[in-house]
Amino acid sequence: MNKEIKIAIIGLGYVGLPLARLFATKYSVVGFDINQKRVDELMSGTDNTLEISDEVLQAVLLQKPSDKNGLYCSTSIADIKDCNYYIVTVPTPVDKNNRPILTPLIKASETVGTVLKKEDIVIYESTVYPGATEEDCIPVLEKVSGIKFNQDFYAGYSPERINPGDKEHTVEKILKVTSGSTTETGKKVDDLYKSVIIAGTHLAPTIKVAEASKVIENSQRDINIAFVNELAKIFNLLDINTNDVLEAAATKWNFLPFKPGLVGGHCIGVDPYYLAQKAEEHGYNPEIILAGRRLNDGMGNYVASEIVKCMIKKNIPVNNSKVLILGCTFKEDCPDVRNTKVVDLISALKDYGTNITIYDPWANEKEVMREYGLTCLKNLPNKKFDAVVLAVSHNKFKGIDFQSLKNNIAIVYDVKNFIDDKDVDGRL
């Protein structure tokens, strides 16, 4: 059976590469990406996203396309023409006005359409609003390929659940939702994933149900975090430690353990806008979803104002002060800086006239400069600062001597409730 299946993974980022590596343990897989540098890096046996170790990647790499099990990475469309399963894992971002950008998805569909054949199955993993696969992507496949959907070729949707930086909940250990454009296709898609996902699968009745299930997962988390962020604002006014309140409330068996913080990344900070867009197209204004987004999007400005208040209370001149930001990735212990809300915090602090230094041992300095125009240091600077702000709870920050980083009068502000009380002047 394995010899009959040849899989193309379209997009080799945080989602596509782990999936390609996993499928390559049982099938012939071609990883396709338009970024030649990324492909060259992977073919040399290294993953700079650090999702896959060099040893694990090299164990499945093939140096040329083959029908045997393994992974070959390429930028050539010719190398995927013999595949019969095409899995699209490209990003689905939003623009500056938080409107969904489907361009990567459409371009990937055009690429697949050029090689699509009868009986092929195209599976989408990119997070979208309900209906996007059949309403936006399928027409592109039909137009470019010249063949008919659900007559000549078929489709499926299986939302990604990758958690960047998480070495415990890896792709094969996370239960996978699957779906297909026909009953038979759904079974084929489910069987394909079931063959490598040890956590099991859940076959949804339709593609739209699978799409909706994914987009509400992250919308739910976003709303819950917005709630505790609002609690943090209230409790700060009441001079109550938010973390102490949450710990006390968590003693009840059904209390949900969410923490306040900056909400960024490629999923939670983006996906609710996809659902909101679809709701608005159908004449419904999603009040709770958008309220949660507004609150979370404003947390960078709020934290900056709290830091400045702490400085003023200690009579530290804010203008031209030196501020050290610890961490600029969107989450702890991974190099992913996509849609990181730390940049909102930095921008707000700069508006107060502060001089910012960023230290993050995980982040790629070139990527931070390219994406945000910010200089990020790989090594802890040997300087004194007027304010030290822990923005991301990297484990590597646990050994930092905060006193050695402070001027005679300085503050330490902890966004993540990560630092010992004795070192902290303020928390979110």
Give the dihedral of Cα atoms 180, 184, 188, 189; nearest 10 deg. 10
Q: At what angle do helices 299-313 and 342-351 cross, to 10 degrees?
A: 50
- Matching residue, tokens 């990020």: 376
Strands lying side by side in the sheet with 6-10 = 70-74, 28-32, 6-10, 85-88, 121-124, 154-157
Let me know the angle formed at the C-alpha of 215 by 210 and 218, rounded to the nearest 5 degrees. Answer: 130
Give the CB-side neighbour count of residue 420, counting CA atoms within 13 A: 8
Q: Is 328 a catalytic residue?
A: no
Active site residue: 137, 267, 310, 334, which one? 267
Sign of the torsion formed by the C-alpha atoms of 219, 220, 226 and 229 = negative
**Residue 389, number of CB atoms within 10 A of its CB:** 26
What is d(CA 418, CA 8) in angstroms, rounded to the nearest whole number?
A: 42
- For residue 102, the SS3 value is coil
What is the bridge-based pairing of β-strands 406-414 and 355-359?
Answer: unpaired
The length of the chain, given as a count of residues: 428
Closest CA to 37 of 361, 331, 332, 366: 366
The DSSP bridge partners found for residue 174 are none
Question: What token pair was written down for 357?
Answer: 């230094």
Which string of b and e fits 82-93 if b means at least 16 CB within 10 Å?
ebbbbbbbbbbe
Long-range contacts of range 182-189, CB-CB < 8 Å, 24 or more positions apart? 182/150, 182/154, 185/121, 185/154, 185/155, 185/156, 186/156, 188/121, 188/154, 188/156, 189/121, 189/123, 189/156, 189/158
| Active site residues per annotation | 267
